[in-house]
Every structure is written in structure tokens, then in C-alpha cells.
């Protein structure tokens, strides 16, 4: 005995299957996009300035979490590049070396962030005195190495540690 509904089922099976599959893929993609936006990971470096005297200022560098996920203690390895024309002197933490990139000379200060950085918050890295009262855009550069990747995301470093200055972040200067 043959069931009449059986032939109707197979006639509609493949069109319904493909339509349901397409809707499922679209819904899964939307859910994935919403979750990725909710877990945004982003960080920058910023600096506050304090006048020491007429010819020098103190720069207080910090990591600024502009994302939505916290960075734990010792999860951010920071690198700051200070143009040597500013005559930086004796940072209070980190290790230093001289670095020349594309005919520009920098003091390269690096270290591990000692505390956590919560979303929308700053955690101070180090401070350094410079022998100038003005800092121009491009004099202070940075990049951060974390478990979530390198920030800024544009940063490109080859296997020998050489990078292009156009891919490095510019430090945000606040009050």
C-alpha cells in the first residue's frame, strides 16, 4: 500500500531543505557577528603630560583599554618609541635601547604591564622626563603585544623584528 503524502513530501523536500539551510546560515552568521561585537578586544597607549619646569615635561604613559574585555595582570607587553630629539631621560620602569627606523632615532622602552586593564580604563606603564615643552604628533609611538594579538591591528613586524613606522600606533596625548 502506498501513502499519497509520501510523494508530496519528496516533491517539497529539496526546496524546503535549501531554504531552511540558507535561513540557518544567515541566523548563525548574525549571532556570530553579535557575539564578536560584544567581545571586542582593543587597546591603545596614551600619555598625560606634567610640566616639570620651563624646558621639560614628564610624560606618564598608560595602556588604555578601549575594548570590552579586560586584560589581566602581566598580559600586555608594551613598547614605547620616543624620538630622541625630545631627549628622553631615565624612564622609571622598563628596559631601554636605541632603535633606528627609517632614518629616525628612538629610545625604545619596553616592559610588561604589572596590573590589569579594565574596559574604558587606563593602567600606568611608566613615566619619563623629556627636555622639551612641546611634543608633536609622531614623536611618541607604540605597539602592544597581548594574548589577543598586536595592537594597533595594523602593526606589521617581520621575522627579524623590523617594522614600518606607518604601521605603528601614535600615542594619544591627553591632559
Per-residue pLDDT tens digits for 78-105: 999 999 999 888 888 888 888 888 888 8
Residue 46 belongs to what H/E stretch? Answer: strand 43-53
- Judged against a pLDDT cut of 80, whether residue 123 lies above it is answered with yes
Mean pLDDT, to the nearest integer, of 3-31?
80
Q: What was the pLDDT predicted at 122?
A: 92
pTM above 0.85, yes or no: no
- Judged against a pLDDT cut of 70, whether residue 16 lies above it is answered with yes
Give the alpha-carbon dihedral of 156, 162, 166, 170, to 10 degrees.
90
Inter-residue contact 139 to 12 (CB < 8 Å): no
User: Is omega for the bond preceding 45 within 30 degrees of 0, making it cis?
Assistant: no
- Cα atoms in the Cβ-side hemisphere of radius 13 Å centred on 116: 7
**By mean pLDDT, which of 39-48, 56-65, 118-127 is the weakest?**
39-48
Amino acid at each position: 500500500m502506498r501513502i499519497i503524502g509520501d510523494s508530496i513530501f519528496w516533491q517539497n523536500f529539496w526546496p524546503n531543505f535549501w531554504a531552511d539551510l540558507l535561513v540557518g546560515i544567515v541566523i548563525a552568521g548574525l549571532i556570530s557577528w553579535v557575539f564578536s561585537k560584544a567581545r571586542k578586544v582593543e587597546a591603545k597607549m596614551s600619555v598625560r603630560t606634567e610640566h616639570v619646569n620651563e624646558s621639560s615635561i614628564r610624560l606618564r604613559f598608560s595602556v588604555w583599554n578601549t575594548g570590552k574585555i579586560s586584560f589581566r595582570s602581566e598580559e600586555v607587553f608594551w613598547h614605547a618609541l620616543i624620538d630622541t630629539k625630545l631627549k628622553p631621560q631615565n624612564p622609571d620602569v622598563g628596559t631601554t635601547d636605541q632603535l633606528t627606523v627609517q632614518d629616525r632615532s628612538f629610545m625604545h622602552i619596553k616592559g610588561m604591564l604589572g596590573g590589569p586593564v579594565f574596559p574604558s580604563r587606563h593602567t600606568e606603564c611608566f613615566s619619563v622626563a623629556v627636555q622639551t615643552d612641546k611634543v608633536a604628533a609622531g614623536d611618541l609611538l607604540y605597539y602592544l603585544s597581548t594574548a589577543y594579538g598586536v595592537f594597533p591591528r595594523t602593526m606589521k613586524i617581520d621575522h627579524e623584528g623590523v617594522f614600518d613606522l606607518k604601521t605603528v600606533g601614535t600615542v594619544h596625548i591627553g591632559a
